[in-house]
Amino acid sequence: MLVRNKKMFSIGVVFAISFFTVLALIFSPVFDGKNGLVFSDDMFNKLSKGSSYFIPKVARLKQR
């Protein structure tokens, strides 16, 4: 038989199936019609731009 250790082979198959399931979900449009890559890019842009709006307020407080 080709498989020598069935337990390790079973664990590897489960991990491979779970990996490909998550990969398929990332590339599927399940996040409000967007795939996972576009959704995460939009989320990062919202977070980074949202935090940059606080910088002028901080600068004005330091001048007083």
Give the model's pLDDT for residue 55. 60
Q: What residues does each domain of the chain span?
A: 6-63
Cα three-residue angle 9-10-11, rounded to 5 degrees = 90
pLDDT in tens, the chain (64 residues): 788 999 999 999 999 999 999 999 999 999 888 999 999 998 898 887 766 556 665 555 555 5
Give the model's pLDDT for residue 50. 64
Q: Hey, what's the torsion of the CAs at 28, 31, 35, 15, to 10 degrees?
A: -60
- Give the predicted TM-score (pTM) of the model: 0.61
Residue whose token pair is 């390790």? 8
